[in-house]
Structure 1
Amino acid sequence: MDIKRSVLWVIFVGALVLLYNNWQVHTGHPSMFVPSQSLPHPAASGAQGANDVASTPAGAPAVQSGAPAAQAQLVDVKTDMFDARISTQGGTLERLQLLKEGDAKQPDTYVTLFDDTATHKYLARTGLVGGDFPNHTDVFTLVPGPTTLADGQDTLTVRFESPEKGGLKLVKTYTFTRGSYVIGVNQQIVNAGTAPANPSLYLELVRDSQPVETPRFSHTFIGPAVYTDQHHFQKITFSDIDKNKAEFATQADNGWVAMIQHYFATAWIPPQGKDRTYYVEKFDPTLYRVGAKVPLGTIAPGQSVDIDSKLFAGPEEEKMLAAVAPGLDLVKDYGWVTIIARPLFWLLEKIHGVIGNWGWSIIALTLLIKAVFFPLSAASYRSMAKMKEITPRMQALRERFKGDPQKMNAALMELYKTEKVNPLGGCLPVVIQIPVFISLYWVLLSSVEMRGAPWIGWIHDLSQQDPFFILPLLMAGSMFIQTRLNPTPPDPVQAKMMMFMPIAFSVMFFFFPAGLVLYYVVNNVLSIAQQYYITRMMGKGKTKKLAAPTPPKQ
């Protein structure tokens, strides 16, 4: 009948299962819950040059790889935000470092999104389909001009021109803007031939399924996504693509496509109001892509068509993303707790605007949440205190009727009724609070704002584990104290297991980001203080009741 203990056992077993599953994923083994994803084979990736990844969207002619690759050049582009490299083969953006997002563990390096190496491939490319037209395998010509954003300059344009092919010429212009993670991409399609042409423009993101670095024992989504006003945000796992089970909107005149990873995302945003077809597929043993194909209509000889698109590549900061395109802020994905997590992050951000330190903001938010839930916590702790008081009597009843479960349950129910104790009283208030605390977990795990954010002293990055494990040790100690404050299970084996739980949980917290552990430590300390205060007040009230003078006889 001890419902609270049963719930704790379920949570404990579930945590052990999740711990084992995340360890499996971390060590390269398949997940117990999600089918294994195809990882790139280094040798295969290394054998493929940019010209070998020549597949184009459905409807395009086969493209021959070969001699043009030797003519391709790499163009370095530098701005205040990016250190980029664009290949003249297709005018493909094949390397992009974020200069505002330096690696906290290696200050001289930066976060790299697009990349093309022997072990990792991640590209943003475009081209024309619908005929033998210029595409990402053709060698373009760099139009002479600056490739570095000069001091005092707000924008930098870098232009590439394709050779005439199938009567069409493609002019691709990248526009980099100071202080912005959005790259403007204008594509002018010129019909230099003698016959009308009816091409479509494709914009796609190509990458392998190689995982990115995430906190140990934590699993975050990596893969493509499609957004439309009608179907909203749709994530697609690599495993679903492998099994041809990917579900997403394919037709729209709005929306965007993206590749998502922990803290960062890239997205192609075609011009709104133009019909497009979205596609997601695996087109190579190690490579996946998500893209949009935009019909351009008939282009008569001597005419041209201009298409302006946006390419986002940067951190998942909600305000910034929402300003770039409708729904783009959803790439910062909280999963099924989004409805609670988004308001929590909004509140955390407001607190940070006043305090100016993310660590202290986490503490302040935890204090605020505990204050809001104090009535529920008080009810739970009162119920637990009453259960602790009658635990010896419960043990005596279990011992007396251990051979007759029916009589034992009846005796326990009578005891609960006599002492006015509700076995669910300590459980339900906790269950109500669980979604909020899970949501805050995802807020802290998903927020790129924690990356490189210091707190005090030895904590220089709230997104990394505590270097000296001080917070995890405090976490283990606080869990041990909480266990001591709770009613002792009558079964000696259960009692030992309850004492072992803090150690088991603490294993995970030794590898969690410091910001997450800080939240749990503060939450536990506040819970201990609340429980101690309420239990002490109940004890004083009972003492006063026992010491009350007996009224004189009449």
Structure 2
Amino acid sequence: MDTQRIIALIIFSFSGLLLWEAWQKQRNPPVPPSTPTAVAAAQTGNTNPAMATSPAASSTVPASTIPTATTAAPVSVAAPAAVPTTSTKTVSVRTDTLALELDSTSGDIRNVVLLKHTARGDVTQPFALMQEKVGHYFIAQTGLLGEGMPNHTSKWVPTGERFDLGGNDKIEVAFTNNDTPGIDVTKVFTFKRGSYVVDVRYDIKYGGASPIAPKAYFQFVRDANPPEGESSGSNPFTGIATFTGPAVYTELKKFQKVSFADIEKNKAEYVSAASDGWVAMVQHYFVSAWLPQGGGAREYFVNRVPNSPLFTAGVKQPIVAGGAILPNTTASLSMPLYVGPQLQESLKALAPGLDLVVDYGWLKTLAYPMFVVLSFLNSMIGNWGWTIIVFTILLKLVFFPLNQKAGKSMAHMKSLMPKMEALKARHGDDKMKLNQAMMELYKTEKVNPLGGCLPIIIQIPFFIALYWVLLGAVELRNTPWMGWITDLSTPDPYYVLPVLMGASMFIQTKLNPQPADPIQAKVMLVLPIVFSIMFFFFPAGLVLYWTMQNILGIAQQWYINKTFSATPAKATAGKR
């Protein structure tokens, strides 16, 4: 009996430890405060498809190197929070899904607002994915590499200042540059109805005398700060966030996260040269990704901007795959840019492996099927809170045979309490004889003292997997259940569910056999309080699931106890 309780306690503690370690692995490490080592703005000269490391900057920078990522004004490394907003004019674009601001001179994407997703903490405002503000600097830049080719530091001329999709299916926003005689370049942004994909296309009209082989680069520039409102460092639980930072995907190495800390230390490892894949900047619930098309060669890079708190991640690709632009000809290159929510089915359709940006921790193989089932149920129910409740009931039915067997074992153990107390009184402090007598009693009564632990062990992976589903699925972000629960992906603001969970846990302990050891009995009484406090910081959806599990467990154990106690009574009456 005591052994059973100890193991149950160990299992609960171990599950908490697993959650903690999973959080720690996904946490965005802070950038070291020391003066950063200057890093080249892009990978250069590396065609080895094996793992690459961020190179240290050299005194001579090749002509094909991407110009250093720029902001509207110099940024002090000592005070990274003092990133100024742009002072240049902007070109505004609005569709049914996106509202963007493009720099009218460089064509940089400086602000991206997702119109169908609300800000955390203020549902009246749309969510800003890219922006220039204190503590959150995140933009996208593009340009060309090669002699006479314009880049993001060149002067581009937009064809207008305001663009609205209106009733159209798509709109195009063009920027032109003809600074170099014989080279006319148009940068075109294409926006489509209902889409989070922005197609960035370069059209080059070349009138020179000899062939040229320019490249285009597409990069993100951002600081290392976690997304505002999506994570908090105010306590040891919510201070742990999902991964924020660059990611590179290739068929050779699949999904590769690159932490800001590794970039800072020149230890970032990823495949730099490939003929497939994509590069992204990942954050909680959302992702921005450059998605090269076709099978042409491309170079991925992830670096620290020299003398700055900013980082770059991007891709370089030839305008003409494996060839050159001949005199008096034209050439084009398109690069889709996804800026939006981590909607798994949509991401799967866009690029191989793009759905891997959804962070389900180390139990993804279990978490994803759970999400699929939850999504199916929600398509019929229409409320994620009730969906979680129905899902919990279904899960309980799946495990009903195991729980029934374990419950009977617990009830049998409870019926043996008088005999166990008698053995304890008989053997006193002689632990060895007491344990031998206990084992003999278990053998005689044909009961396994650990029989009630199996359902707990089996359900722990489901608990952890569901935690990651609720933490990582954008579908649950800002989704209400009822009353005071306005967001199932954040903690209960009034702690009602954690208290109910603790109360249900307390009732469960009373239905199960009580430890003979007074110290263990006190521990079991305190455990519901400890778990209630811990669950103050868990997503409300997860606490709802666990509370519902407890309520169903109480009903099942009560029924088992009632039927088990009635069975011996009938047997006794029959003997008379």
Partners of 1:430 and 1:539 in 2: how far apart? 24
Query: What residue is the counterpart of 2:495 in the other structure?
Result: 469
Structure 1 residues 30-49: aligned runs within 5 Å: 36-38=29-31
Query: Does 2:131 align with 1:91?
Result: no
Partners of 1:288 and 1:6 in 2: how far apart? 49
Report SS of the residue matched to 2:113: strand
Partners of 2:445 and 2:567 in 1: how far apart? 16
Report the CA distance between 1:491 and its aligned residue: 2.5
CA contact (8 A) 2:28 2:242 kept: no
Query: What residue is the counterpart of 2:293 in the other structure?
Result: 271
**Structure 2: segments with no counterpart, 5+ residues:** 45-61, 74-85
Deviates more, 1:389-398 or 1:181-190: 389-398
Query: Does 2:316 align with 1:293?
Result: yes
Query: Does 2:150 align with 1:119?
Result: no
Structure 1 residues 303-452: aligned runs within 5 Å: 303-397=329-423, 401=427, 404-452=430-478
Query: What residue is the counterpart of 2:5 in the other structure?
Result: 5
CA contact (8 A) 2:66 2:217 kept: no
Change (3 A) 1:274 1:549: same
CA contact (8 A) 1:192 1:301 kept: yes
Report SS of the residue matched to 1:415: helix
Query: What residue is the counterpart of 1:28 in the other structure?
Result: none
Query: Does 2:202 align with 1:187?
Result: yes
Change (3 A) 1:272 1:346: same
Partners of 1:293 and 1:502 in 2: how far apart? 55
Query: What residue is the counterpart of 1:157 in the other structure?
Result: 172
Partners of 1:328 and 1:488 in 2: how far apart? 51
CA contact (8 A) 2:27 2:243 kept: no
Report the CA distance between 1:134 and its aligned residue: 2.1
Q: Which amino acid aligns with 1:386?
A: H
Count of residues in Structure 1 that have an aligned counterpart in Structure 2: 534
Q: Which amino acid aligns with 1:301?
A: P
Partners of 1:346 and 1:185 in 2: how far apart? 33
Alignment match of 1:133 (pick from 142, 145, 149): 149
Query: What residue is the counterpart of 1:142 in the other structure?
Result: 158
Change (3 A) 1:54 1:403: closer
CA contact (8 A) 1:264 1:316 kept: yes
Query: Does 2:517 align with 1:491?
Result: yes
Partners of 1:67 and 1:403 in 2: how far apart? 75
Report SS of the residue matched to 1:121: strand
Report SS of the residue matched to 1:137: coil
Partners of 2:182 and 2:363 in 1: how far apart? 52
Q: Which amino acid aligns with 1:241?
A: I
Structure 1 residues 53-72: aligned runs within 5 Å: 55-58=41-44, 59=62, 60-61=64-65, 63=67, 72=88
Query: What residue is the counterpart of 1:302 in the other structure?
Result: 328
Partners of 2:203 and 2:109 in 1: how far apart? 17
Query: What residue is the counterpart of 1:237 in the other structure?
Result: 259
CA contact (8 A) 1:164 1:192 kept: no
Change (3 A) 1:145 1:156: farther
Question: TM-score normalized by structure 2?
Answer: 0.84
Deviates more, 1:460-469 or 1:57-66: 57-66
Greater relative contact order: 1 or 2 (C-alpha under 8 angstroms, separation 6 or more)?
2
Partners of 2:217 and 2:380 in 1: how far apart? 45
Query: What residue is the counterpart of 1:258 in the other structure?
Result: 280
Deviates more, 1:380-389 or 1:56-65: 56-65
**Percentage identity across paired residues of the two chains:** 44
Alignment match of 2:540 (pick from 514, 517, 520): 514
Report SS of the residue matched to 1:314: strand
Q: Cα deviations across residues 260-293 of structure 1 (Å, max 9, x unaligned)?
A: 1111111110112111122223334522222222
CA contact (8 A) 1:39 1:208 kept: no
Change (3 A) 1:93 1:398: farther
Deviates more, 1:322-331 or 1:92-101: 322-331
Partners of 1:66 and 1:341 in 2: how far apart? 40
Report the CA distance between 1:445 and its aligned residue: 1.9
CA contact (8 A) 1:194 1:301 kept: yes
Query: What residue is the counterpart of 1:247 in the other structure?
Result: 269
Query: What residue is the counterpart of 1:47 in the other structure?
Result: none
Report the CA distance between 1:13 and its aligned residue: 4.1
Deviates more, 1:436-445 or 1:519-528: 436-445
Q: Cα deviations across residues 401-423 of structure 1 (Å, max 9, x unaligned)?
A: 56554434332221211111112
Partners of 2:344 and 2:20 in 1: how far apart? 32
CA contact (8 A) 1:133 1:166 kept: no
Partners of 2:43 and 2:326 in 1: how far apart? 24
Partners of 2:6 and 2:183 in 1: how far apart? 70
Change (3 A) 1:299 1:72: farther
Partners of 2:267 and 2:567 in 1: how far apart? 63
CA contact (8 A) 2:93 2:164 kept: yes
Change (3 A) 1:251 1:544: farther
Report SS of the residue matched to 1:347: helix
Q: Which amino acid aligns with 1:79?
A: T
CA contact (8 A) 2:248 2:257 kept: yes
Report SS of the residue matched to 1:459: coil
Change (3 A) 1:517 1:169: farther
Query: What residue is the counterpart of 1:209 in the other structure?
Result: 224
Q: Which amino acid aligns with 1:254?
A: D
Q: Cα deviations across residues 343-377 of structure 1 (Å, max 9, x unaligned)?
A: 11111111111112111111111111101110111
Question: TM-score normalized by structure 1?
Answer: 0.87
Report the CA distance between 1:392 and its aligned residue: 4.6
Partners of 2:148 and 2:41 in 1: how far apart? 13
Partners of 1:383 and 1:75 in 2: how far apart? 70
Change (3 A) 1:3 1:267: farther
Partners of 1:65 and 1:431 in 2: how far apart? 51
Query: Does 2:552 align with 1:526?
Result: yes
Query: What residue is the counterpart of 1:176 in the other structure?
Result: 191
Report SS of the residue matched to 2:163: coil
CA contact (8 A) 1:158 1:175 kept: yes
Report the CA distance between 1:397 and its aligned residue: 4.1
Report the CA distance between 1:15 and its aligned residue: 6.5
Report SS of the residue matched to 1:440: helix
Q: Which amino acid aligns with 2:381?
A: I
Change (3 A) 1:56 1:2: same
Change (3 A) 1:430 1:67: closer
Report SS of the residue matched to 1:465: coil
**Structure 1: segments with no counterpart, 5+ residues:** 26-30, 45-52
Partners of 1:85 and 1:120 in 2: how far apart? 16
Query: What residue is the counterpart of 2:98 in the other structure?
Result: 82
Change (3 A) 1:396 1:144: same
CA contact (8 A) 1:145 1:158 kept: no
CA contact (8 A) 1:95 1:123 kept: yes
